[in-house]
Structure 1
Amino acid sequence: MAQSILEHGASTAAALGERLDLTPAAVRRHLDHLVEEGAVVAQDPRTPLRRGRGRPAKVFVLTEVGRDGFDQQYDDLAVDALRFVAETGGDDAVREFANRRVAFIEERFDEVASAHSHLSPAEVLAQLFTDEGYAAAVRTLPGSNDHEVGEQLCQQHCPVSHVAHEFPQLCEAETEAISRVLGRHVQRLATIAHGDGVCTTYIPSPPTDTSNSEKEKVSS
């Protein structure tokens, strides 16, 4: 029944019964179960549906919980596919796949940086990841005397976390791509794939150019 709502959108109990060839009692039983699980919710239709006198029929729509159930099926398919890649092509093939998946980081970094010149490099990365469904943000880390010691790139959501739990190459490829576009080493501190609440990457502040100050010391 949830599959039918996913494919056809908001549906009345009558429409579901007709599509699935179920009796009204059977439809109600299934819907009550889905509502209890939090997979669907009943709403008033945006455009009232005519059914004679009385209030318009409620429509049932999938919730985020309901959609997550289908996302898990796609995760299972992705894991199976990567297992096949690993079995037939080895670890190198899995790493190549992981690198291709995060190619958007290097392909779009300059484009986003040019379009949003007010953003720092870390904030550009956050925008990139957010566009890809990661819900990312940047947190500045102050050091002594309020000098910045670096930033943290925080990804509140990871669309491949279930897959990355078995194939950490996906996380590793992300981290390596971030290092390349920034031109400095970064460190992954936490990942959703391994049970943390957020994926966190430490980005150190760029090294300061001390050549001029050293020259001044010598000349004085």
Structure 2
Amino acid sequence: MREHSTQQEAESAPGCAVPATATEVLLDGHRATRDRVARSILDHGPSSAADLASRLGLTTAAVRRHLDGLTAAGLVESREQRVYGSRGRGRPAKVFALTDGGRDAFYQAYDQLAADALRWISDAVGGGKAGEEAVAAFARARFGRQAEKYGEALSSAGAGERTEALAQALSADGYAATVRRVPSAAAQAPAGAQLCQHHCPVAHIAEQFPQLCEAETEVFSRLLGTHVQRLATIAHGDGVCTTYVPAPGAASSPALRTAAGRDTDAAPTAGTSTDDSASAR
């Protein structure tokens, strides 16, 4: 996606040619503006043109021009932003998300390096069980550093607000997290919650190294002060990473495992839904 001066002139002209392949667009110079737009969507999940302009310090008109080029190349697609709970008047906002081709082009460039590094860590200690534990130790150290930052965000939250505070902290790191309140099976019992991560920057790596997901779940449990259950992960082919968080004093609910994490178009901001039908999907 390197934009040489001649390419920039060509792009400003009507009917400019679309690059031949998705990989060519994304891998030919990661500092180009169009690559920054695509990378921001990758890191933060589905985003509106206004959100992208704010994050990148560009005008909305400039962002839309790059989005048009990415869409023409098959790297980005637009969709209506899904809103949980009550919605105001007017049409839903339009957001832009990477297509499978767009994600694959990025993963070819960045994920292979990370996968090679983790495989080297495993092989350096002899592979097998020792290698798995070495990767797990790395994952725990990585998420442990994140936990320190998230802990500060949760320190001022009340007992019933910690899951929402964690979702907001995760969203700030590009995980596009939301919270769904889940009614308890027992009458008069407090509701639990589903912490949903609609985007995972390391999903392709976690496919090969599940220790990353396991370490993240351990961190969630420690931060929230309760045993949590990972119901679904993007790394295993689900639409959303979903973690069940029981209400204070309540037991975990394995029944909520059914059909968790199938919603791929949810809004990429932290929030709460009390819609029972949404949490049962």
Confirm or deny a common fold (TM above 0.5): yes
The reply to whether residue 139 of structure 1 matches residue 180 of structure 2 is yes
- Secondary structure of 2:245's counterpart equals strand
For the residues of structure 1 that align with 2:143 and 2:21, how far apart are their CA atoms? 36
Paired AA for residue 108 in structure 2: Q
2:106 pairs, out of 65, 70, 90, with 70
Determine which of 5, 11, 20 is the counterpart of 1:33: 20
Q: Are 1:82 and 2:107 counterparts?
A: no
**Which of these two proteins has the greater Rg computed from alpha carbons?**
1
Q: State whether structure 2 residue 139 is matched by structure 1 residue 112.
A: no
CA-to-partner distance for each residue in 1:41-93, whole Å, 9 max, x for gaps? xxxxx7xxxxxxxxxxx988656558632343101111111111111132222
Distance in 1 of aligned mates of 2:158 and 2:25: 43
CA contact (8 A) 2:107 2:204 kept: no
Aligned residues with identical type, % of pairs? 45
Please give the secondary structure, in 1, of the residue aligned with 2:20: helix
| Unaligned stretches of 5+ residues in structure 2 | 27-33, 35-58, 60-64, 77-97, 126-130, 251-281
- Structure 1 gaps, min length 5: 16-27, 41-45, 47-57, 209-220
- The residue number in structure 2 matching 1:193 is 235
Q: Which amino acid aligns with 2:9?
A: T
**TM-score in terms of structure 2 length:** 0.53
The structure whose RCO (Cα within 8 Å, separation 6+) is larger is 2
What is the alpha-carbon distance in structure 2 between the residues aligned to residue 132 and residue 14 of structure 1?
Answer: 32
Shift in Å at residue 11 of structure 1?
A: 1.9
Structure-2 separation of matches of 1:180 and 1:119: 16
Q: Would the aligned equivalents of 1:150 and 1:204 in 2 still touch at CA under 8 Å? A: yes
Q: Output one character per residue of 1:20-39: Cα deviation in whole Å (capped at 9) or x when no partner.
A: xxxxxxxx66x35359x997
The SS at the match of 1:102 is: helix
CA distance in 2, matches of 1:193, 1:123: 23
Residues 183 and 77 (structure 1 numbering): CA distance in 2 closer, same or farther, change over 3 Å?
A: same
Task: Return the TM-score normalized by structure 1.
Answer: 0.66
Q: Is the CA contact 1:126–1:153 (under 8 Å) kept in the aligned structure 2?
A: yes
**Number of matched residues?**
178
In 2, the alpha carbon distance for the partners of 1:136 and 1:118 equals: 19
Name the SS for the 1:97 alignment partner. helix
The structure with the largest helix share of the pair is: 1
Q: 1:12 aligns with which of 9, 27, 31?
A: 9
